[in-house]
Amino acid sequence: MGFEFIPDNALYQLAVILVVGIIGGEILGRFHLPKVTGWIFSGIVVRFLSEYHEGFTGLNVKAASGFDVFMSFVLGYIAFTVGAALHFAGLRNARGRLGLLMLGEAIVTFSVVFVLMYMAGGWLDPENMTVQASLLLAAIAIAGAPGTTVLVVQEARSRGILTRTVIAAVALIDMVAVGIFVFAASYLTGDDSIAWHSPWQTALTSVAYEFGMALVVGGASALFALGLTRTVVGPAFLGPTMVAVILGAWGAASGFGVSGILACTFAGIVVTNVQHDTVRSAEAYLHSIGGVLFAAFYTLAGMKLDFTLVLNSAALVVLFFVARFLGKYSGAFAAMVVADVPKRVRNNLGLALVPHGGVAVGLVLLVQNSPNLGGVAEIVTTVALAALAINQLVGPSATRFALTRAGETGKDLPRLLDFLDEQHITVNVTGKTKEEIIRLLASQLYNTKVPPAMPQEEFVQHVLKREAGTTTCLSEGLMIPHAELEEGDDITGILGISSQGIDLDAPDGQPVHAILLLATPKADRKRHLEVLAAFATAITRDINLREQLYHARSAAHAYDVLHADAAGELNYFLEDAMTRAGITEEVADNNTP
Per-residue pLDDT tens for 222-250?
A: 999 888 888 888 777 877 888 899 999 99
At 33, the pLDDT band (50, 70, 90 cuts) reads low
Own/partner pairs, 586-593, CB within 8 angstroms, 24+ separation: 587/533, 587/537, 588/529, 588/530, 588/532, 588/533, 589/529, 590/533, 591/474, 591/532, 591/533, 591/536, 591/537, 592/529, 592/532, 593/470, 593/471, 593/472, 593/473, 593/474, 593/480
- Same domain (yes/no): 458, 388: no
Flag whether pLDDT at 61 surpasses 70: no
Per-residue confidence (pLDDT) for residue 63, from 0 to 100 = 62
Indicate the Cα dihedral angle 504, 505, 511, 513, nearest 10°.
-40
3-17, 146-160, 253-267, 517-531 — which is least confidently predicted? 3-17
Per-residue pLDDT tens for 515-554?
A: 888 888 877 777 777 777 777 777 777 787 788 888 888 8
Flag whether pLDDT at 286 surpasses 90: no
Q: How far apart are CA 397 and CA 392, in angstroms?
A: 9
Average of pLDDT values for 248-265? 87
Per-residue pLDDT tens for 186-218?
A: 777 654 433 445 666 766 777 788 888 999 999
Per-residue confidence (pLDDT) for residue 301, from 0 to 100 = 76
Q: Does the residue 11 lie in any domain?
A: no
80-84, 222-226, 301-305, 386-390 — which is least confidently predicted? 301-305
Residue 327 CA, distance from chain mean position? 19
Structure-model confidence comparison of residues 288 and 129, the more confident one: 129
Per-residue pLDDT tens for 552-566?
A: 888 878 877 777 655
Flag whether pLDDT at 256 surpasses 70: yes
End-to-end CA distance of the chain: 93
* 372 CB burial (10 A radius; 0-12, 13-18, 19+): exposed
Structure-model confidence comparison of residues 392 and 221, the more confident one: 221
* Total length of the chain: 593
Q: How far apart are CA 366 and CA 127, in angstroms?
A: 22
Per-residue confidence (pLDDT) for residue 415, from 0 to 100 = 57
Per-residue pLDDT tens for 581-590?
A: 344 444 444 4
Q: Does the residue 395 lie in any domain?
A: yes
Q: Does the residue 542 lie in any domain?
A: yes
- Same domain (yes/no): 350, 441: no
Flag whether pLDDT at 438 surpasses 60: yes
Flag whether pLDDT at 491 surpasses 50: yes
Q: What is the CATH number of the domain that holds 468?
A: 3.40.930.10
- Same domain (yes/no): 498, 540: yes
Residue 138 CA, distance from chain mean position? 21
- Same domain (yes/no): 245, 295: yes
Per-residue confidence (pLDDT) for residue 193, from 0 to 100 = 39
- Same domain (yes/no): 183, 311: yes
Per-residue confidence (pLDDT) for residue 519, from 0 to 100 = 85
Per-residue pLDDT tens for 161-185?
A: 888 888 878 878 888 888 888 778 7
Q: What is the CATH number of the domain that holds 47?
A: 1.20.1530.20
Q: Does the residue 9 lie in any domain?
A: no
* Other Cβ atoms closer than 10 A to 18: 19
At 331, the pLDDT band (50, 70, 90 cuts) reads very high
Flag whether pLDDT at 24 surpasses 90: no
- Distances from the Cα of 258 to the Cαs of 130, 140, 264, in angstroms? 26, 18, 11
Q: Does the residue 234 lie in any domain?
A: yes
Residue 253 CA, distance from chain mean position? 23
Average of pLDDT values for 439-449? 84
- Same domain (yes/no): 207, 346: yes
Per-residue confidence (pLDDT) for residue 556, from 0 to 100 = 79
**Dihedral pair phi/psi, residue 573, rounded to 5°:** -65, 135
- Same domain (yes/no): 174, 93: yes
Nearest C-alpha neighbor of 15 from the set 69, 59, 62, 72: 59
Q: Does the residue 414 lie in any domain?
A: no
Query: What one-letter code names the amino acid at 351?
Result: L
79-83, 137-141, 396-400, 467-471 — which is least confidently predicted? 79-83
* 512: helix, strand or coil: strand
At 107, the pLDDT band (50, 70, 90 cuts) reads very high
- Same domain (yes/no): 266, 393: yes
Flag whether pLDDT at 411 surpasses 70: no
Average of pLDDT values for 482-500? 82
Per-residue pLDDT tens for 336-373?
A: 999 888 888 889 999 999 888 767 877 887 787 777 77
- Same domain (yes/no): 383, 454: no
Q: Does the residue 536 lie in any domain?
A: yes
User: Is the pTM for the entire model greater than 0.85?
Assistant: no
- Same domain (yes/no): 333, 467: no
Indicate the Cα dihedral angle 95, 500, 539, 419, nearest 10°.
-20
Domain enclosing residue 468, as ranges: 422-591
Average of pLDDT values for 504-518? 86
Per-residue confidence (pLDDT) for residue 194, from 0 to 100 = 37
The top-scoring range by mean pLDDT among 16-20, 65-69, 366-370, 584-588 is 16-20
Query: What one-letter code names the amino acid at 456?
Result: Q
* 236 CB burial (10 A radius; 0-12, 13-18, 19+): exposed
- Same domain (yes/no): 358, 432: no
> Do 178 and 422 form a contact (C-beta atoms < 8 A)?
no
The residue from 354, 377, 405 where one domain ends is 405
Enumerate the H helices of 417-570 as residue ranges: 434-445, 456-469, 525-541, 543-550, 555-563
Q: What is the mean pLDDT of the chain?
A: 78
What's the structural domain count of the chain?
A: 2
The residue from 379, 405, 431 where one domain ends is 405
At 51, the pLDDT band (50, 70, 90 cuts) reads low
> Do 588 and 530 form a contact (C-beta atoms < 8 A)?
yes
Q: Does the residue 413 lie in any domain?
A: no
Share of the chain above pLDDT 90, in %: 11
- Same domain (yes/no): 135, 177: yes
82-91, 128-137, 568-577 — which is least confidently predicted? 568-577
At 414, the pLDDT band (50, 70, 90 cuts) reads low
At 486, the pLDDT band (50, 70, 90 cuts) reads confident
